[in-house]
Structure 1
């Protein structure tokens, strides 16, 4: 550094500076305004001291990088971010600076007026975070989310679920979770500027601008002889991605599945251009017995050169330390040494110290992802329970059980799965109430019941963890859609896709939202993109086939269903294929397919309803329809106790009840389903059928019109056996 004295005090009491209302105490490493401590990262503080020691002098960028970071493979972006944080804390306008002047392409100088030496400055106290650093400031949130976030931060606002049979357990969950102190959002959260383009513009293929301190974590390669160990390598890569995503000042590209990575460029420079990152981390993993070898490499995407590489040979019990060493080396290379960072990374990368529990947890995560393909939620739950058997306090595994049960509830409308999910969430809260994954699970739990404001509060908490942002945004999108705020839903779907452009789950969620809002062509396109990304997903092909049925494109629907069954004959695709056979008038074949679906999983009331309809439509089997109608009605009523705002389920229950001879209850359910104003097509479809037994011609035809307006195809309406019989009986045609 340049020699020269500063105008601040360097007496025996230590080095101090004062300007305007700002006081800087170098030995205490504090900065205060009007006596109030201000949060400032160590590197930003060091940059400020360097500038204060040479007021009025231009300090070059390289000079500052050498002084503060030692220029260890760091990029100029780290200095830019430090200056930006200083401006924020000092309330210094970059356009009209009072303290820090930028000399473009050269460096920075301090231009404030330092006060002469005076009495020693009283040290300001800084409230510390758990890892010893300063408390990060809160972040501004969109106005439409403030009320929900206020609910999350105010102890008395997360209300119990309300129904008498749930109140005691939910109050216990609330009390356990509210035991945590007030939460905050890390300063690393950035405002995302989204181009004014349609959500469906294919943004995943566009070239991204490169960020200086940025990295893409590639899926780790399993070099062991057992391909069943792929889950272990993939799990380590995901854990590394999430840990690095939580480092302030580091930009981490969206996580990438092995299937997507296999289609991407292998050239480091091309990867950097496509993903907009300065570096790429890749690794290979070999596990043989109790031995573990990891070869890790960090590459510069501008030059293609390797910045560092290292081989780690340990017992399998050393996996946590190895992961921490790799993550710490990445952070040092891109941001320099940060006090307390290695300890924070170690905490993030070692959610348990039990290797057997961690191994079972990674298998559970993989199976949970696969459950979207094969519907085998029980396998995922079993693996998470195995992890808990090895470590009874493993909160992430408990949260995994909660989420698995919730996915089962949403997929199969199984009321018992919701009860199990709630119990698992309660246990996870007691284990670690401050864990972001627990907040995410709690958000999904509240959303499943239609408690959208409470769900938004929990999602806002989960969003504070950068690794959970995409999932939190997806949850927010669904919650806003549930509230009927479709513009907000679109905004958060956009954010989720911005973070995960190649995630088929995000695309399928968007597709379902489009379908629910009567945008059938757009929904089909979203699902087509999803199956392109995940062609081996039987559920996605089944859903795409169902959309084709609604669109009246039976040939394409048949292809999609047969493709799905060829992958794996799930209950979903068998029931969807049965619906197509039903529409074609082959009621016996439809009933057979529905029975096969129920043999796989008998927990979905809709499939029982479909079976009852197929039997009722066939005069030879009509007398056998009562039992499945009873099963469907009983299960639907249990489901609606948990999710009373499901308009489609209410309308379906009305249809079941009218066929069981309860006309009064059926009328009530028709009114309730229509009052919600959602899922107009499906509600109109069911209620038109119900009105054939208890309504007038006008009642039936009005609801047929609603079904058309809601996206139900003309062929589905025209071929419906109950509507056909009604119009034949009344002498009226179903008119458009």
Structure 2
């Protein structure tokens, strides 16, 4: 019995293990019974015109013969035409006739009813869609139905045997109809794999980074094999949620899963790897490697080659290509340190993670001065610092690091990705797109490259192009939280707050332990005026890992509800975590300004710190309208009236984030005494969708009587809009 939808072959009631390519060969032969199918035609149809050795087909035929229980010298199903190809010669019988012969007398029990329920096929979605209507068709209308009979079967089978054959023939009829008629695409791509997080068996949680890093390196290396579909990075939580290989295969849409355990003890390394078929649950290949730690690169290459051989067969030249992708350094100590840095980039919500990652990458470069991936890691970490902490020095450091990485290995995809990120934040879109396009050619970097191009196009106002790039990223990996977060952040920048909230809700569903995404979702809820949901999301983010943006936003939320003491405490904690960000100092100044117990000198110092840091940031990002408006508010608070008015005009001339800019300019103008102009900006802020809670709770607006009409019932204290999601959407690996 052959079920193409379920990818199964059953002989004598026993499920037979088959590699995906062998099963595909069987389907091609069944579609043309009795016909000679040339070897080249089979290679083209199954391996897709790949340059593979003929041995892969021979290996598939050997598997099929074993599964069908036939002797190659006396075949009853697959005949070899030497030097030509193969044909299916099994006896194919009309199931309608068999069913009629097996039917009981009128009123008797049907054959299917006499059989155990386990042998009745459970319809798949494809079978349900393609099955004929539940009527009794005439023999002429019936599709051809096959039943392969072995020559050794007894000719005088008893009643029970006959009923079983009748039921099997009916199943074979459905299966053959599915084979011959136009079929929906199979559930999984045959040559596809998901690399699960490797399990650390060393007994030390501090070694988790090593196992995680090996899995990521393996995934990226396999993604570069043409003809092999590789699922996106799978989180440890997602892998534990899956009941078995079948469930995980259904979720990820892959035909196989690679699991491995890693045990590192001193200078010894043991890796046990297993490749599992997600349809049958059978193991396709497994092996244990017990080697010296210094041979980690060779071990990784051996595992990758075994996976490729099991799914695609031998591919000339692929072994050396895999080895090159997995051996970017020959220094195992440098590789180990590099993996530590990458783990820190993967956990970007941890305090000081960027600085720690930079230190690890720097150490790896001391151990191997030509390690280009480590140099690219420094560039990415510095860009992350610049974007999340608004540190101008980080951008200078990123430029220097990326230039050195390009000198080391100008063709490396990770280097091109880092350069794309660099030129994107530095305001050079053409060079950013150039490097992103080069990076997109490497499957392991394609998602990040498409998201990067989408951001560049969006910043240029090319909405259609940005949408196409985001869609391409989702097409590659629809269940990657980072992509949904990047889309959500762009929606936020475009003023589409409800859509941004929906995107971030999807992101936290896919990656529920990501504190950064929870924090951004909380900030978006604040922007939308949903304070209850905002508080819940921000608290959840802090419970996972406190960060500057979640602390400062929760502080402003406490401020909006009149808890000034709590607001000041949270803002001070935020400035301790990331003292270079002007926004946290500005928010601290706002909280101190409203707190009766605060010292006016401390308030002024906070606004002075915010102003000086905002000015440094604008030296490298002069077109950031919201930062210009923020600086205008700081200058007005400090009494610099002329410069404050100039900054209002400059912010409005730049455009972008109109609601936030209008609200900030309204407060600046109110502080300057121009209440009419302030009311005009408040109307613009409301029209742009700024939540009423953010307006009605503002200390300056309340003090100067600008809240007209009166605040609706149920709203309570607050301040300026929260700092925009400071660290959402930037690529931090995977």
What TM-score do you get using the length of structure 2 for normalisation? Answer: 0.70
CA distance in 1, matches of 2:410, 2:287: 37
Tell me by how many angstroms 1:454 deviates.
2.1
Counterpart residue number, 1:458: 435
Tell me by how many angstroms 1:226 deviates.
1.6
* Cα offsets for 1:436-468 (capped at 9, x unmatched): 111111111111122223211111111011110
* Cα offsets for 1:237-269 (capped at 9, x unmatched): 111111111111222122212122112242x33
* Cα offsets for 1:456-494 (capped at 9, x unmatched): 111111101111001111111211221122232222222
* Cα offsets for 1:100-157 (capped at 9, x unmatched): xxx9999xxxxxxxxxxxxxxxxxxxxxxxxxxxxxxxxxxxxxxxxxxxxxxxxxxx
Provide closer, same or farther for how the CA distance between residues 451 and 596 of structure 1 changes in structure 2, counting only shifts above 3 A: same
In structure 2, the residue corresponding to 1:446 is in which secondary structure? Answer: helix
Tell me by how many angstroms 1:576 deviates.
0.9
In structure 1, the residue corresponding to 2:704 is in which secondary structure? Answer: helix
Write out aligned runs for 1:95-114 (5 A): none
CA distance in 1, matches of 2:87, 2:615: 68
Provide closer, same or farther for how the CA distance between residues 541 and 58 of structure 1 changes in structure 2, counting only shifts above 3 A: closer
Choose the corresponding residue for 2:638, options 660, 680, 688. Answer: 660
Counterpart residue number, 1:32: none
Counterpart residue number, 2:627: 649
Counterpart residue number, 2:214: 236
Choose the corresponding residue for 1:258, options 230, 233, 236. Answer: 236
Tell me by how many angstroms 1:710 deviates.
2.9
Write out aligned runs for 1:263-274 (5 A): 263-266=241-244, 268-274=245-251
Choose the corresponding residue for 1:509, options 486, 495, 500. Answer: 486
2:391 paired with 1:414: yes
CA distance in 2, matches of 1:208, 1:290: 45
* Aligned partners of 1:352 and 1:394 also within 8 Å: yes
* Aligned partners of 2:350 and 2:546 also within 8 Å: no
Provide closer, same or farther for how the CA distance between residues 273 and 545 of structure 1 changes in structure 2, counting only shifts above 3 A: closer
Tell me by how many angstroms 1:356 deviates.
0.4
* Aligned partners of 1:477 and 1:490 also within 8 Å: yes
Tell me by how many angstroms 1:409 deviates.
0.9
Structure index of larger Rg: 2
CA distance in 1, matches of 2:640, 2:187: 63
In structure 1, the residue corresponding to 2:645 is in which secondary structure? Answer: helix
Counterpart residue number, 2:697: 719
* Cα offsets for 1:538-593 (capped at 9, x unmatched): 33332222222222222222223333333333322221111112222333432232
2:377 paired with 1:400: yes
Q: After the TM superposition, which of the residue ranges 543-552 and 246-255 deviates more from structure 2?
A: 543-552
CA distance in 2, matches of 1:586, 1:272: 50
Choose the corresponding residue for 1:334, options 311, 317, 324. Answer: 311
Write out aligned runs for 1:513-528 (5 A): 513-528=490-505
Tell me by how many angstroms 1:622 deviates.
4.1
CA distance in 2, matches of 1:208, 1:596: 54
Provide closer, same or farther for how the CA distance between residues 272 and 543 of structure 1 changes in structure 2, counting only shifts above 3 A: closer
Counterpart residue number, 1:572: 549
Choose the corresponding residue for 1:550, options 517, 524, 527. Answer: 527
State the Cα RMSD in Å: 2.8
CA distance in 2, matches of 1:735, 1:702: 17
CA distance in 1, matches of 2:695, 2:43: 75
* Aligned partners of 1:73 and 1:334 also within 8 Å: no
In structure 2, the residue corresponding to 1:625 is in which secondary structure? Answer: helix
In structure 2, the residue corresponding to 1:385 is in which secondary structure? Answer: helix
CA distance in 1, matches of 2:216, 2:665: 46
Tell me by how many angstroms 1:428 deviates.
0.9
CA distance in 1, matches of 2:641, 2:649: 13
In structure 2, the residue corresponding to 1:473 is in which secondary structure? Answer: helix
* Aligned partners of 1:211 and 1:276 also within 8 Å: yes
2:686 paired with 1:688: no
Provide closer, same or farther for how the CA distance between residues 703 and 208 of structure 1 changes in structure 2, counting only shifts above 3 A: farther
CA distance in 2, matches of 1:277, 1:69: 25
CA distance in 1, matches of 2:251, 2:549: 37
Tell me by how many angstroms 1:72 deviates.
6.0
Gaps of 5+ in 1: 1-56, 76-102, 107-206
Provide closer, same or farther for how the CA distance between residues 440 and 208 of structure 1 changes in structure 2, counting only shifts above 3 A: farther
Provide closer, same or farther for how the CA distance between residues 63 and 261 of structure 1 changes in structure 2, counting only shifts above 3 A: closer
Counterpart residue number, 2:196: 218
Tell me by how many angstroms 1:714 deviates.
0.5
In structure 1, the residue corresponding to 2:272 is in which secondary structure? Answer: strand
2:271 paired with 1:294: yes
Provide closer, same or farther for how the CA distance between residues 592 and 104 of structure 1 changes in structure 2, counting only shifts above 3 A: farther
In structure 2, the residue corresponding to 1:351 is in which secondary structure? Answer: coil
Aligned length: 551
Provide closer, same or farther for how the CA distance between residues 676 and 105 of structure 1 changes in structure 2, counting only shifts above 3 A: farther
What TM-score do you get using the length of structure 1 for normalisation? Answer: 0.70
Write out aligned runs for 1:77-96 (5 A): none
Counterpart residue number, 1:127: none
In structure 2, the residue corresponding to 1:214 is in which secondary structure? Answer: strand
In structure 2, the residue corresponding to 1:470 is in which secondary structure? Answer: helix
* Cα offsets for 1:497-537 (capped at 9, x unmatched): 33333333322222222222222222223223333333333
* Aligned partners of 2:354 and 2:382 also within 8 Å: yes
In structure 1, the residue corresponding to 2:233 is in which secondary structure? Answer: coil
